[in-house]
Structure 1
Amino acid sequence: MQINRQQLFIASCLALMVTGLSFGIRAGILDQLGVAFQLDKSQLASITATAFWGFPLAIVIGGLVVDIIGMKKLLVAAFIFHFLGIILTVFASGFWTLFLSTLLVGLANGTVEAACNPLVAGMYTEEKTTKLNHFHLWFPSGIVIGTVIAFALNKAGIGWQVQVGTMLIPTIYYGYLFSKLDFPVTERVASGVSYGGMIAAVANPLFIVMFILMFGTAITELFTGQWINVLLKNVTDNALLLLTLETGVMVLGRAFAKPVLKMITPQALLVVSAALAALGIFMFTVVTGPMLYLAAIIFGMGVCFFWPTMLGFVNTNLPKTGALGLNLMGGAGMFAVSIFTLIMGDYYDSIQKSAGGNETLAGQAVLKATLVIPIFLVVAFVVLVMYMKGRSKKTAAAVQA
């Protein structure tokens, strides 16, 4: 068996790009779906949230079985879920078909990460956080491409069905690439850590803390991005372009993760990220016009490193957690986003009704509620920095002794 590390990495990036495409295109057509099928914001939130709870369902189950069945079989399943989800969305006839199709896409997205996160971490053990950042830049890349497709085809008067259908091209291609490649075993299997040892490792208090903090980083990044077109549509005519700009910043940031991580520790980077994300969301609530683009840039800089750095921190500092640790982290993030989306969908509708149909006030109220999360994260990550400094000193003292 010959392992082609470069081709596996390229195929993984392409599969992750499809997950970003689904995010970006869905964000671009959300309002159109509401009009086409006469759905209110609570129903749209239910559909959107389905992708976010389908993801953790797939990634957690995938994390439990990936060492047993292998990464290739998981990625075949991801291809099937993506293909069926896209086709069903194109031919959707109402709420329930949209619900099911979005669930299938969510399952596909989670299955991609369930296989590809441990694949990338295992192939690049010498620079896990850097390569996870490089891998995860293809999620915002997919969002950028997806939002550009949605924006351009909307302007051209081309329907949302065609926009969704464009995802079939990269889906079929990544399925073909993975079908002809050989896969290594996971890092946990290669290093000889037992399955029971991996289960025990996720009970480590540091892992539990990072697991909880993943709720906040994921909500800050993904909820805000997915709903930006809805929340700011009456503040600017180009709300979708704000998402494109924000995610473009994320692509650039993750591409330069290596020099950034040479200058600053992952935990310190998380402090800076949370502070910038909080500032960006705050600006969304108070500025208008061209200043919104500055807010999008600042917000993009803030959320840029969240997801891959959280995964890299855990896999580097708690390597025995293996594929399960990586996938529990991803599952925690997406599950939190699904619950938060449902809550905010109802909150948006209630504020809008109490404000006499004022959508601008409803959007600002949701953003202000979301702002609390990155502010809390700043404090939490400062504590993490202090903890890791103390841990480093104890390790150094033990070595000297």
Structure 2
Amino acid sequence: MEGDTHNRRAIFWICVLALFTAALSFSIRTGASGAIKAALLDSAVPLHSGEMIAAALGNSFLGFALSLLVISPLLDIFGAKRVILFASACFIVGPLLILLSPRMDGIDAIYRLLTMGMVVCGFGWGATEASINPVTTALYPDDKTGRLNILHAWWPAGIVVGGLTSILFFEQLHLGWQALVALIAVPGIIFGLWTMTQTFPKTESTALGVPFRDMLAEPFKRPTFWIFPAIMFLTASAELAPGSWVDIALTQSVGMPGILVLVYVSAIMFVMRHFAGALEHRFSDMGLLCVCTIPAAAGLYLLSLASTPFTAIVAATLWAFGVCFMWPTMLAASARRFPRGGPWSIGIVGFAGAMAIYFVLPEIGKIYDKAKLAKAGGQTAFEALQPGPELQQVLGFAAQQSFQVIALVPIALFFIFGAVWLAERRRKG
């Protein structure tokens, strides 16, 4: 409580449920994408259906990044309560637009409404990140790393629930993609109604009495701030981009559904993020991030070599232990060092992470496509391959190459985090 004006526990769990909903939405959209492509695009645009569904999914990341960037500096003007209610509305309206898209006349109108639904879901995700991170740092100013990691433990929890629900709906209950997409709205309605009952705190910059203009100017007055968005771009490239790619790559190279590996990794991350506070006190935030890059790099490299479900699980375990703390600890690190930047500085760092996914994921795909053609001996040779061991070998090689390239990112981060860690230790000493 703060002067009995707000219920800290209730508000924190509203933030948890909002992030869980964002993760569930992401996981379900990904899980339903194949069925949506088959139902709406394959017959109408068979030559471009894969590209079109990928672009629709990618546009949700763009919606996420843009809403995060726009809302963050205006959070205290709008009020965190209104922003979280906006996120709730997006998780209701976005799925509704996707569900209504088949009713439109013509493939252009269908695809336009489908894409709009994906973008609105992305707006909800961005509004969630723009509000819950500054609210949590305001609620727990002395335990930012621990509380942000506990909060963001519910992102992988949402991935687990969404992934398992996708498998249950399609393979066991034999329900259509519409039922799965409609499920997104349920927690969206719940956290929206709960939000209406609460009074939310002001962010740290407002509590410190920082004027709006000074908050906007803070990142530009302190050039060292821009190290953190740059690092966040790389950390998101090591965590979320491979997470979006693992289903495609491992399904082909290991012979098991990649979504199961993603669910397993997410379960590890959910558990481990609850221990971030204690580890941060032992190593410091930069020390913790530096240590984490070692298993992250090893895991990504070993994923490139995995050829059986067992080796994939071992590699994925290392990768999960490496990346589990990265996103929330980066947010906490920037919030601790630049409190006068408030939600604006946190939003810029989150925006950098979102844009990393938007830009890096297609590049991984290009590496994959280039490698498969090289292994096959050219485009003509690749197109001549029939389903079987030879094609599987070519696709497995392409998956290996894509993971090996991305494994270089945490290696670079080891030296960056290490340099910042040592510089700050010397300054304190």
1:383 aligns with 2:419: yes
Q: Deviations over 1:262-283 (max 9, x none)?
A: 3221101111222211111111
1:300 aligns to what? 320
1:99 aligns with 2:115: yes
Alignment partner for residue 23 of structure 1, among 26, 31, 42?
A: 26
- Do the aligned partners of residues 144 and 335 (structure 1) sit closer, same or farther apart at CA in structure 2, a change above 3 Å counting? same
Contact 1:351 1:361 (C-alpha < 8 Å) held by counterparts = yes
Alignment partner for residue 254 of structure 1, among 249, 273, 276?
A: 273
Alignment partner for residue 353 of structure 2, among 333, 347, 351?
A: 333
Task: After TM superposition, give the deviation of residue 346 of structure 1 in Å.
Answer: 4.2
Alignment partner for residue 115 of structure 1, among 113, 131, 134?
A: 131
Task: After TM superposition, give the deviation of residue 184 of structure 1 in Å.
Answer: 1.5
Q: Once the two structures are aligned, what percentage of the paired residues are identical?
A: 28
2:157 aligns to what? 141
Partner Cα distance (1:360, 1:30) in 2: 22
Contact 1:218 1:336 (C-alpha < 8 Å) held by counterparts = yes
Contact 1:74 1:115 (C-alpha < 8 Å) held by counterparts = yes
Q: Secondary structure at the match of 2:200?
A: coil
Q: Deviations over 1:208-253 (max 9, x none)?
A: 0111010011121111112211121112223111000101111011
- Do the aligned partners of residues 7 and 55 (structure 1) sit closer, same or farther apart at CA in structure 2, a change above 3 Å counting? same
Partner Cα distance (1:251, 1:198) in 2: 33
Task: After TM superposition, give the deviation of residue 351 of structure 1 in Å.
Answer: 4.1
| Stretch moving more, 19-28 or 65-74 | 19-28
Larger RCO (CA under 8 A, 6+ residues apart): 1
- Do the aligned partners of residues 383 and 44 (structure 1) sit closer, same or farther apart at CA in structure 2, a change above 3 Å counting? farther
2:66 aligns to what? 57
Task: After TM superposition, give the deviation of residue 96 of structure 1 in Å.
Answer: 3.2
Structure having the higher Rg: 2
Partner Cα distance (1:381, 1:133) in 2: 18
- Do the aligned partners of residues 365 and 90 (structure 1) sit closer, same or farther apart at CA in structure 2, a change above 3 Å counting? farther
Q: Which amino acid aligns with 1:362?
A: A
Task: After TM superposition, give the deviation of residue 82 of structure 1 in Å.
Answer: 1.4
Contact 2:296 2:323 (C-alpha < 8 Å) held by counterparts = yes
Contact 2:204 2:340 (C-alpha < 8 Å) held by counterparts = no
1:167 aligns with 2:184: yes
Q: Which amino acid aligns with 1:237?
A: M
Contact 2:21 2:187 (C-alpha < 8 Å) held by counterparts = yes
Q: How many residue pairs align between the two structures?
A: 393
Task: After TM superposition, give the deviation of residue 90 of structure 1 in Å.
Answer: 2.9
Alignment partner for residue 372 of structure 1, among 389, 392, 408?
A: 408
1:229 aligns to what? 247
2:290 aligns to what? 271
2:93 aligns to what? 84
Q: Which amino acid aligns with 1:11?
A: I
- Do the aligned partners of residues 259 and 63 (structure 1) sit closer, same or farther apart at CA in structure 2, a change above 3 Å counting? same
Q: Secondary structure at the match of 1:158?
A: coil
Partner Cα distance (1:383, 1:161) in 2: 50
Q: RMSD in angstroms over aligned alpha carbons?
A: 1.8
- Do the aligned partners of residues 272 and 90 (structure 1) sit closer, same or farther apart at CA in structure 2, a change above 3 Å counting? farther
Contact 1:216 1:377 (C-alpha < 8 Å) held by counterparts = yes
1:399 aligns to what? none
Contact 1:28 1:229 (C-alpha < 8 Å) held by counterparts = no
Using structure 1 for the length normalisation, give the TM-score.
Answer: 0.93
- Structure 2 residue runs without a partner (length 5+): 43-47, 103-109, 377-381, 384-393
| Stretch moving more, 92-101 or 313-322 | 92-101
Contact 1:64 1:324 (C-alpha < 8 Å) held by counterparts = yes
Partner Cα distance (2:31, 2:90) in 1: 22
1:187 aligns with 2:190: no
Contact 1:211 1:329 (C-alpha < 8 Å) held by counterparts = yes
1:155 aligns with 2:174: no
Using structure 2 for the length normalisation, give the TM-score.
Answer: 0.87
Contact 2:20 2:158 (C-alpha < 8 Å) held by counterparts = yes
Partner Cα distance (1:257, 1:136) in 2: 11
1:176 aligns to what? 193
1:132 aligns with 2:148: yes
Contact 2:95 2:181 (C-alpha < 8 Å) held by counterparts = yes
Partner Cα distance (1:35, 1:280) in 2: 33
Task: After TM superposition, give the deviation of residue 182 of structure 1 in Å.
Answer: 0.9
2:397 aligns to what? 361
- Structure 1 residue runs without a partner (length 5+): 394-401
Task: After TM superposition, give the deviation of residue 371 of structure 1 in Å.
Answer: 1.7
